[in-house]
Amino acid sequence: MKNYLLIGTIAFMGTALLTSCGQAGKKAAPEAEFTYEVDRFEDISVLKYRLPAFEQLSIAEKEFIYYLSEAALCGRDILWDQNFKYNMLIRKTIEAIIDTYGGDRESDEYRAFITYAKRIFFANGIHHHYSNDKFVPGFSADYLAQLIGGSDAARLPLAEGQSVEELAGFLSPILFDPVLYAKKVDQSEGTDMITASANNFYEGVSQAEVEEYYSSLADRAEPRPVSWGLNTKVLKVDGKVTEIQWKSGGMYGSAIDRIVSWLEKARDVALSETQKKELDLLIDYYRTADLGTWDDYNVLWAGNTGLSVDYINGFIETYGDPMGMKATWEAVVQYKDTEASKRTVLITENAQWFEDHSPVDPQYRKEKVTGVAASVINVAMLGGDCYPASPLGINLPNSNWIRTEAGSKSVTLANITDAKDIVARGSGFLEEFAYDQTEIDRAVQWGSLSDALHTDMHECIGHASGKLAPGTDPNALKNYASPLEEMRADLFALYFMMDPKMTEVGLMPSDEPAKAQYDNYIRNGFLTQIVRIQPGRDIEQAHMRCRSAIAHWVYEKGKSDNVIEVVTRDDKTFVRINDYQELRGLFGEMLKEVQRIKSEGDFAAGKDMIENYGVKIDSDLHTEMLSRYARLNLAPYSGFVNPVMTPVTDSDGKITDVKIEYCSDYLGQMMEYGKNYSFLQAW
């Protein structure tokens, strides 16, 4: 489970770029000179992230990180194909055009094409990474044909016997027809979510057929169920619903084999025997696709804590599947920030206290909170569904029974958060949307701490809290499972941030950081996050539905007592919290109900909560927010280019160091990855 930035408040930084991907070995710039933003287009800001104190790591740690990082880059094609079955064809066509097109590269149409290409690279496909809507090209279908016709045919991904003109004709409706493949994930009420969604998890089957198929496999009496459907594509063979496994020798096998080859190198230099054993299990899982092996790996991985270097690698998160079953491929390589982790240690040391004092029904609390491990880490490499758009926090494994019996790991991504915070300074966002100067001053003084604490609490103890009632199907909430789970973790964090325990154990000096978080959360969920949505659209993304549902539910339930007030001033809408303690009580009430819904698998109640509070947007308010936000000239989304790692070897080929170069060429990195880390075919 991931926690994403509430809203990108990225201000454009016009200073000169200091490094490029081609300047390997250059000394990193001092903090005061480091330029974080490397590109800006449409609604996207692309940043760099630093690797603090990387040079202080041991050679063994650096070598381990290097091999894991190469594995993290080798699965990129998998995500592209999972997102949409023609994404690889489209990407390879775009890459060929950028490399070989012989026509005018200074025209407005070519510039529009490059912007379109950048958007596709950022989203890992032709659908927006957050809204799931298909991108609208800023050029014509005729111009696409001109681009393809003016490029080197030998570089184009032509099918056997296909002409250049036929390739252009095939791609034209896919890219330009607004109805065809319109949404990557469509969870609109009343639709067949399988046939309406353009992702590549299902083909030729309906939602009813998929539900019936997996219902026949699941055993509700099994106390340790595997994650059915996690690593397969569902389709029909001879009229029968079946699955194709993602594994070595199976679907995505050529990319998985490359991942495995680097994981084997990492295993051989792993920093502990337990880490070697878990990597052996992960490699075996990639070769067999056995879900029992995946569970064995996660049990061992979750219990292996206190590491200086760790990683995430596999088919993990299910946000991209409207049914919440199929997992996209992702990878993160990380090393521990020991000083900052003291904060998360305090939280996890008190995890049982938080669970015991939770406002949820006692029968749905955990009697014993097991193996909650949390760290603040620095990212060394992002891959798959964590790149370029990165989460701020991650809590894994996702399996309920493993979390109960073996525990979980939570990480807060410090250098990712720092990069976003630094770029956001002085953006004018708070001055435009905060209610008054008191709110602004509180956010400036306590915003960084309050955001870090909320992420830590969300990941460390929010996701780790609570339990299912005996016999509850883990998949009972279906397409509403993800937003409800994010609500549960957010509410847990929000409720306890205002608790005196936070100051008692030294996590906060007073309740002011909690107030700053309450201000920020309600403002974002009620007002500012909707600037990410196109006019006339509903909220689709799980984290956004979560925040909207929480903000609107507590507003409605506290309306009679004026707990939260909607204020109009100078024709602008603001929200003001009048009673922070009453708001905390409302967060507790909502947490109790959301936990009940999850524990009992109450699909109807979960659906009502999301559909009634988390989906719809007031059109007049939406128009106002979009207008006010546009005047700030900010990008609501941000992501990252990765650093470049270069191993230094001795005469025997043994790695003696790993040098870091910070890339400042977003498009260049995308093209380089297409050349060096692409292992799947276009057709």
Domain around 404: 2-74+251-640
Looking at the structure, do residues 50 and 130 belong to the same domain, yes or no? no
Token representation of residue 204: 């030729």
Looking at the structure, do residues 45 and 156 belong to the same domain, yes or no? no
pLDDT tens sequence across 369-416: 887 788 999 999 999 999 999 999 899 999 999 998 999 999 999 999
Looking at the structure, do residues 229 and 153 belong to the same domain, yes or no? no
Q: Which domain-ending residue is among 171, 199, 227?
A: 199
Looking at the structure, do residues 442 and 503 belong to the same domain, yes or no? yes
In whole angstroms, what is the distance from residue 444 CA to residue 442 CA? 6
- The residue-averaged pLDDT of 12-30 equals 39
* Domain assignment present for 529: yes
Count the domains in the chain. 3
In whole angstroms, what is the distance from residue 594 CA to residue 488 CA? 6
Give the amino acid at 267.
R
* pLDDT value of residue 624: 97
* Domain assignment present for 665: no
Token representation of residue 416: 């990712």
Looking at the structure, do residues 321 and 394 belong to the same domain, yes or no? yes
Q: Is the peptide bond before 52 cis (omega within 30 degrees of 0)?
A: no
For residue 27, give Cα distances in angstroms to 16, 265, 400, 430, 660.
17, 28, 45, 35, 8
DSSP 3-state assignment of 285?
A: helix
497 within 8 A of 514, measured Cβ to Cβ: yes
* Domain assignment present for 123: yes
- The residue-averaged pLDDT of 206-227 equals 93
Instruction: Grade residue 8 by pLDDT with cuts at 50, 70 and 90.
Output: very low
According to DSSP, the β-strands at 393-396 and 408-413 are antiparallel
Has residue 261 got a pLDDT over 50?
yes
Q: Would you list the DSSP string of 158-209?
A: PPTT--HHHHHHHHHHHHH-SSTT-BSS---TTS-HHHH--SSSEES--HHH
Other residues' Cβ atoms within 10 Å of the Cβ of residue 196: 15
pLDDT tens sequence across 355-375: 999 999 999 999 988 877 889
Looking at the structure, do residues 180 and 70 belong to the same domain, yes or no? no
Has residue 237 got a pLDDT over 60?
yes
The structure's pTM equals 0.88
* Domain assignment present for 659: no
Looking at the structure, do residues 376 and 460 belong to the same domain, yes or no? yes
Other residues' Cβ atoms within 10 Å of the Cβ of residue 346: 16
* Domain assignment present for 647: no
Residue 228 burial (C-beta neighbours within 10 Å; 0-12, 13-18, 19+): middle
Token representation of residue 388: 């370029």
Looking at the structure, do residues 473 and 454 belong to the same domain, yes or no? yes
Other residues' Cβ atoms within 10 Å of the Cβ of residue 627: 11
* pLDDT value of residue 424: 84
* Domain assignment present for 80: no
* Domain assignment present for 660: no
Residues 6+ apart with CB under 8 A from 426: 11
Q: Which domain-ending residue is among 226, 245, 264?
A: 245
In DSSP terms, 394 is beta-bridged to 2, 411
pLDDT tens sequence across 275-326: 999 999 999 999 999 999 999 999 999 999 999 999 999 999 999 999 999 9
Has residue 15 got a pLDDT over 50?
no
Q: For 209, phi and psi rounded to 5 degrees? A: -65, -40
Say how many Å lie between the first and final Cα of the chain, rounded: 32
The structure tokens 């056997």 sit at: 160
According to DSSP, the β-strands at 44-47 and 564-569 are unpaired
Looking at the structure, do residues 396 and 519 belong to the same domain, yes or no? yes
In whole angstroms, what is the distance from residue 677 CA to residue 45 CA? 24
In whole angstroms, what is the distance from residue 306 CA to residue 80 CA? 34
Q: What is the mean pLDDT of the chain?
A: 93
496 within 8 A of 502, measured Cβ to Cβ: yes
Looking at the structure, do residues 55 and 121 belong to the same domain, yes or no? no
Q: What percent of the chain has pLDDT over 70?
A: 95
In whole angstroms, what is the distance from residue 236 CA to residue 229 CA? 15
Q: Which domain-ending residue is among 245, 270, 304?
A: 245
* Domain assignment present for 622: yes
For residue 317, give Cα distances in angstroms to 214, 299, 482, 549.
18, 17, 10, 22
In whole angstroms, what is the distance from residue 170 CA to residue 39 CA? 31
pLDDT tens sequence across 477-491: 999 999 999 999 999
Looking at the structure, do residues 457 and 576 belong to the same domain, yes or no? yes
pLDDT tens sequence across 514-563: 999 999 999 999 999 999 998 999 998 999 999 999 999 999 999 999 99
pLDDT tens sequence across 126-165: 999 999 999 999 999 999 999 999 999 999 999 999 999 9
The structure tokens 């012989």 sit at: 102
Residue in 461, 441, 273 with CA at minimum distance from that of residue 350 = 461
Looking at the structure, do residues 305 and 235 belong to the same domain, yes or no? no
In DSSP terms, 565 is beta-bridged to 576
Q: Which helix (H) or strand (E) holds 566?
A: strand 564-569
Residues 6+ apart with CB under 8 A from 176: 137, 141, 144
